[in-house]
Structure 1
């Protein structure tokens, strides 16, 4: 399609100009080291290049596509674990991310709404996995911060006869809404504030606005369920001290 972004010299030059502009702003406005944006851009370009090569072969078969999703899942768990700063206990967050994705993807596949092909499973699964990872990271970080900062309230609840789980829930549960807010806001404002990636991708590929809207709504509603499952499990893991920071 003529409207699609095509690789070439013009694209490369434009990206270099934008990265240079970002680096300049980092330096002038004191946002951080000027190398942050260039390093991120180079890393992103290398990763996308490698992913493109892998996907070109992997998407031809369902089993290899599922293997790609498995690798993405491991990367998502490691990212959430690092963000939580909970040491080895953060490995339990795999349960939270798995709960979210494990509910939504089977529903999409068994309903036949998403065909069991690599071309469909990897993009949709990747978006759901990425959003679930973000919500899990936020829930874990905010929940553990709340336990640390409001430990006096936890101890007060314990002195009143609350169990350890109940006492922790008193300070952790209110933070869950913050982790879910980005996904909820994205769904509420879709098409009004911004056009998300799934919509734009399908629109550029097929040219059909109706198909693009259908895919985007499927992804957004799937994310609402997946993120809710993941955050609920994360809150429970923190309340049961399975995910914790050293004290």
Structure 2
């Protein structure tokens, strides 16, 4: 608990800095810290109770997926059917990755491995889908004149929107690409550090972390493409007309 107390002190410092510089995020910092504390304690108790039951772990993973989709949809409120976009993109990408990982035996199919692996994969897909939705929605609003000019030349909505859809996908993948390229040089990811602290050898920790990191990169790329394609379809009206976003 001493380590947690130290972390809370550092958050308090961040809040003080925010107040001093009038950043306007003091309340958000405090809420984030309190929520993280309460949520992790609650999750730890729940996971401890279901660690021996694969069925219960599967239900827990579905719950994580639902919360992730809801969180991502709130970030892109101007996108029509945002919740459906988030759920489909995150669910499909994470589902493919988790199925492959456990089907080939990369990790044992037990709650001890299913829950943390799914959490990492779903969390990464959530962040990526949020970025795609935010960026693409902004571009569809800001560049509407350019897109309609392309439509006037006779191209489809999908073709007219494609440059901005591609840009939203690339932008959403920047954090994952930077993390993957600089792993071990700039930062040591959580799975690697956690395994080291748990007594695993550096090579074992590196192998697990590399598997997760590469799987995460593939998941985020797939989720981003699905989200961009889904949003493009939703803004396409009959007669190859562009829907105006709120």
Query: What is the CA–CA distance in structure 2 between the aligned matches of 1:15 and 1:226, rounded to whole Å?
Result: 31
1:81-100 superposed Cα distances (whole Å, 9 cap, x missing partner): 00111365102221111121
| Secondary structure, aligned partner of 1:187 | helix
| Secondary structure, aligned partner of 1:85 | coil
2:46 to 25, 41, 54: 54
**Corresponding residue number in structure 1 for 2:171:** 178
1:97 to 65, 90, 94: 90
Query: What is the CA–CA distance in structure 2 between the aligned matches of 1:73 and 1:54, rounded to whole Å?
Result: 16
What's the offset of the Cα at 1:44?
1.0
1:8-60 superposed Cα distances (whole Å, 9 cap, x missing partner): 3x224313321221111111122225333222211111111110110001121
Work out whether 1:132 is the aligned partner of 2:125. Answer: yes
What's the offset of the Cα at 1:208?
1.2
Residues 204-219 of structure 1 aligned to structure 2 (within 5 Å): 204-219=197-212
Query: CA, structure 1 residues 151+67, in 2 after alignment: closer, same or farther (shift >3 Å)?
Result: same
**Corresponding residue number in structure 2 for 1:11:** 3
State TM-score, norm by structure 1: 0.91
Unaligned runs of 5+ in 2: 237-242
Count of aligned positions:
239
Residues 12-161 of structure 1 aligned to structure 2 (within 5 Å): 12-86=4-78, 89-93=81-85, 94-161=87-154
Q: How well do the aligned residues superpose, as a CA RMSD in angstroms?
A: 1.7
Query: CA, structure 1 residues 239+22, in 2 after alignment: closer, same or farther (shift >3 Å)?
Result: same
1:216-240 superposed Cα distances (whole Å, 9 cap, x missing partner): 1011110111111111111111221
**Corresponding residue number in structure 2 for 1:3:** none
**Corresponding residue number in structure 2 for 1:188:** 181
1:185-214 superposed Cα distances (whole Å, 9 cap, x missing partner): 100000000001111111111231111111
State TM-score, norm by structure 2: 0.92
**Corresponding residue number in structure 2 for 1:5:** none
Query: What is the CA–CA distance in structure 2 between the aligned matches of 1:178 and 1:170, rounded to whole Å?
Result: 12
The answer as to whether partners of 1:96 and 1:233 remain within 8 angstroms in 2 is yes
Query: CA, structure 1 residues 16+92, in 2 after alignment: closer, same or farther (shift >3 Å)?
Result: closer
**Corresponding residue number in structure 1 for 2:230:** 237
The answer as to whether partners of 1:69 and 1:122 remain within 8 angstroms in 2 is yes
| Secondary structure, aligned partner of 1:206 | coil
